Each structure stands twice: as C-alpha cells, then as structure tokens.
C-alpha cells in the first residue's frame, strides 16, 4: 500500500470505543432534532413516520454490513476510495476519492460549520453578520485540534458523543414515561397520504443516517481493523437506529402530531421547554451545539485521510506536501489544513448546504458500485480470507443496493439539475486523473 512509502506512518492507536464514537458521532448531528416535523408531514401518520425511520435504519444497517465485509478485506486508510480501487481499478477509485475531497467533504464540513455558527450566535446573542466568521473560526479550532495525535481527536469524539446522548436520552425517557399522547395512530390533518410522500420521508431519514461509512477512512489507524472496523460499523449503526426510533416515539408521545408539523423545526426546542421550562431549551440547544461539534470533528478526522491516501499514491497535485505526516503527532497536517481551506472558501462564496445536497447523488453512485463489488469479490476472489462475512448473503447486499437505487432515483426525479452538477464534479476529475496518475 502507499502508506509504506514514507518512514513516518499513521499510527494504529484507535480502539473499539474510539471507532464506535466516530460511527455514532458522525451520524448523529442536528437532523434527528429538526427533521421530525417534515418526515411526519410526508408520512401523514405517526405510525408511518416511525416506519420510515425503521426502514431508513434497515437500509443503513444492510449498507454497513455490506461495507463491513469489504472493509475487513482491505483495512487501509482511505475507505471507499480504497475499496473501489481494489475492486474496479485505479480510475474508479480515484473518482470516488476525488468527489469526496474536492466537494462533498468540504461541503459537509462547511454546512455543519455554518449551522453551528447560527446556533452559537443565537445562544450567545451574537449579531447575525458574525455567522461566517464564527463558522470559519469553529472549523479552524477543530482542525487545529486534529493536527495533534489521533488519540486527541478520538478523545474529543468520545466526549462529544457522550454529551450529545444526554439531551437525546432525556427526550426519550421523559417523552415515553410522561407523554400522554399516542405514539402510534395519530393522523396529520393537513395533506394526503401517498406512496410518493412516504418515499420522501424515508429519503429524509437516510440523509439523517448518513456518515456511517466515514470510519472506514481511518482503516489504517484502527487496532486490529479486520475485527474492530466491522464491529464498529454494525454496533454503531444498530445503536443509532434504536436511538432514532426511540427518540421519535418519545416526541410523538409528548406532543400531538398536528402540533409537531405546525411547529416545524421548532418542535424539539418546544418539547424541551414544555418538559423542563425555559432552561430546557437552553440545555437542548447546548446539546445540539456539542452534537454538531462532534460531527464536524468526526468529518475532519476522516475526510483528510482520503486526501492523504490519494497523495501517498501520488494521485493528486502537490502530493508530496499533502502526504506529509507530522513526525511526532503522526497526523496528516497539510491534508487537514487543505480540507479546512476548502470548507472556508465554500462558507464565504457558496451555499455549502446546496453543494452537499447536490453531491449526495454522486456519493450514492459510488456506494452502489461498492455494494455490487461485494458480489464481484465473492465470485472472483474466493481465495481471500474473510475475517467478516455478511449475514443473510445475498439478501443483505441486495437490500443495500435497492436502497442506493432508491436514493439515486429520488434525486433524479426531485433535483435533476443537481444530479447534472454532480456529474460535472465527477467529470472534472477525469482530466486530473489522466494528467496526474497516467502521466
């Protein structure tokens, strides 16, 4: 692997708890708090809304199980980029990495940073004009923290993951134990139920579940990755599925369905104030702020590793610099700072939320071919020792494939212009590949 070209190597120092916190922490952001009303409005009933969260969780879990087998075979830094390169060759692997490091990763970090800045500004009553500066400073501080050994980033991830579970568990416990509404069977009075609307609800949950694969980018830094990587993906996604469903039930028990849809994104804060008084809203906002800090930290830990792995393979401009590791901290300093720079540019000059939405299609393209890749590996590489095998094969990867196709078709029908822009980002990588890799 390219990692062996330099005497300074990434350190395999991340254990199961660090890996688990990364899976859980990069999935659970703000979506679970603010998407309840839109999912309920599209699902039309509380029963179908809960079903949407369950179906989205099952699709995510089958996707994680499928990638877990591939990841156990190739436990290297770079995750999806490495898997697709191993299965389909350098060209497709390069494009999978290109999309993530040039647009998708920076856009996700930037959009999270912007949203974090809005919450911090509201919490401390800062002027709205300060939002871009707060976003960039927040991302910079988290990036600088990740220039230290990966142990520090992992410690921050564990801390923020534990903190973000406090408001979530409070909502679950108080809603289920003290709520007087029916979690099942409530009907939203405005709107009509339809299969198409239910599909939109499931799609929204899949976006809330996204991020589970990022732990794979740290494959070269996990102890005993053949065992820990699959375990972290499976346990982490299963835990998030249970938490999301229970939190949804808690909110539905505490508030009437029509009130939830009417309040929109303010449903969760209203719940906190209703249960705990004015201090409840502050606690929830603080919990969400910590939650987003943890999510940003997980993404800054993982996305630069793709850039680093590609640079180690000499596939990027300025590969020598991007592949540099700090000799004592063993962190990819230049890659981390480059990812920060890209995210900052997006905050200042573009709409990062829109860019991250646009790139969903391209990412799911590569998810899809990775899922198909499991069948290819099973057929063509029977010689490989498989530390982990997907249970219920071939049903599990088939469900993952159907889920990816569902997301892609939904994007085509709902945002064709965004899909075309996704293809443009992919196509830009083609001349870069032939200039740099094939030179």
Question: Which strand (E) or helix (H) includes residue 157?
Answer: helix 150-178
Residue 7 — pLDDT band, cuts 50, 70, 90? low
Task: Over range 50-77, report the average pLDDT.
Answer: 93
CA 376 to centroid of chain Cα atoms = 26
Which two tokens mark 429?
């990588």
Quick count: other Cβ atoms within 10 Å of Cβ 294? 27
The residues, ordered by sequence, that sit 6+ positions from 377 with a Cβ below 8 Å of its Cβ are 70, 73, 87, 384
pLDDT at 367: 95
Contact 51, 370 (CB under 8 A): no
Threshold 0.85, pTM exceeds = yes
pLDDT at position 344 over 90: yes
pLDDT at 304: 94
Counting residues of the chain whose pLDDT is more than 70, the rounded percentage is 95
Read off the pLDDT of each residue in 307-311 and give the average, rounded to a whole number. 92
End-to-end CA distance of the chain: 20
Q: Averaged over 9-19, what is the pLDDT? A: 78
**Region 6-28: what's the mean pLDDT?**
80
Buried b (16+ CB within 10 A) or exposed e, 142-174: bbebbebbbeebbebbbbbbebbbebbebbbeb
The whole-angstrom separation of Cα 334 and Cα 338 is 6
Residue 31 clears pLDDT 80, i.e. is over it: no
**Domains detected in the chain:** 16-436 (1.20.1740.10)
pLDDT of residue 3: 43
Q: In this predicted model, what pLDDT tens digit does every residue of 259-289 receive, in sequence order? A: 888 887 777 777 777 777 777 778 777 888 8
- Let me know the angle formed at the C-alpha of 13 by 300 and 70, rounded to the nearest 5 degrees: 75
Q: What average pLDDT does the chain have?
A: 87
Q: Tokens standing for 184? A: 């099942």
Give the count of beta carbons closer than 10 Å to the beta carbon of residue 55.
19
DSSP 108-154: HHHHHHHHHHHHHHHHHT--GGGHHHHHHHHHHHHHHHTTS-HHHHH
For residue 75, the SS3 value is coil
Burial class (CB in 10 A: 0-12, 13-18, 19+), 308: buried
**CA separation (Å) from 244 to 112, 194, 203, 212?**
20, 23, 15, 14
- Residue 114 C-beta-side C-alpha neighbours within 13 Å: 20
Q: How far is CA 196 from CA 54, 199, 262, 366, 409, in A?
A: 17, 5, 21, 25, 12
Q: Give the chain's largest Cα–Cα span.
A: 68
Q: Identify the CA nearest to 39 among candidates 50, 55, 29.
A: 50
């Amino acid at each position: 692997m390219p990692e062996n070209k330099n005497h300074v190597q990434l350190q395999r120092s991340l254990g199961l708890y660090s890996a688990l916190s990364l899976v859980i922490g990069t999935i659970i952001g703000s979506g679970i708090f603010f998407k309840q009303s839109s999912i309920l409005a599209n699902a039309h009933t509380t029963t179908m809304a809960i079903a949407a969260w369950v179906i989205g969780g099952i699709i995510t879990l089958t996707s994680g199980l499928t990638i877990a087998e591939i990841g156990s075979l190739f436990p290297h830094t770079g995750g999806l980029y490495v898997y697709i390169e191993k299965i389909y060759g350098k060209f497709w692997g390069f494009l999978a990495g290109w999309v993530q490091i040039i647009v998708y990763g920076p856009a996700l970090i930037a959009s999270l940073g912007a949203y974090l800045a809005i919450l911090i500004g509201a919490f401390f009553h800062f002027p709205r004009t300060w939002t871009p500066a707060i976003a960039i400073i927040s991302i910079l501080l988290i990036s600088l923290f990740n220039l230290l050994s990966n142990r520090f980033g992992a410690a921050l991830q564990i801390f923020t993951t534990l903190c973000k579970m406090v408001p979530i568990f409070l909502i679950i416990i108080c809603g289920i134990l003290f709520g007087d509404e029916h979690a099942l069977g409530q009907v939203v009075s405005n709107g009509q139920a339809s299969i198409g609307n239910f599909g939109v609800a499931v799609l929204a949950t899949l976006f809330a579940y996204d991020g589970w694969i990022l732990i794979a980018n740290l494959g070269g830094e996990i102890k005993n990755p053949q065992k820990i990587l699959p375990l972290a993906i499976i346990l982490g996604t299963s835990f998030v599925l249970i938490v999301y469903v229970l939190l949804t039930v808690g909110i539905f028990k505490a508030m009437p369905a029509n009130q939830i849809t009417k309040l929109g994104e303010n449903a969760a804060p209203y719940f906190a104030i209703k249960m705990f008084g004015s201090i409840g809203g502050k606690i929830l906002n603080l919990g969400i702020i910590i939650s987003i800090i943890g999510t940003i930290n997980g993404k800054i830990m993982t996305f630069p590793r793709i850039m680093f792995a590609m640079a180690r393979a000499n596939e990027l401009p300025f590969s020598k610099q991007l592949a540099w590791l700090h000799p004592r901290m063993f962190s990819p300093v230049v890659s981390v700072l480059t990812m920060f720079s890209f995210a900052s540019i997006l905050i200042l000059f573009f709409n990062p939320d829109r860019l991250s939405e646009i790139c969903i299609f391209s990412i799911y393209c590569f998810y899809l071919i990775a899922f198909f890749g499991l069948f290819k590996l099973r057929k063509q590489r029977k010689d490989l020792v498989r530390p982990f095998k997907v249970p219920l094969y071939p049903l599990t990867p088939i469900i993952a494939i159907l889920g990816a196709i569902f997301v892609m078709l939904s994007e085509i029908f709902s945002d064709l212009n965004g899909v075309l822009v996704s293809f443009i980002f992919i196509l830009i990588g083609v001349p870069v590949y032939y200039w740099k890799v094939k030179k």
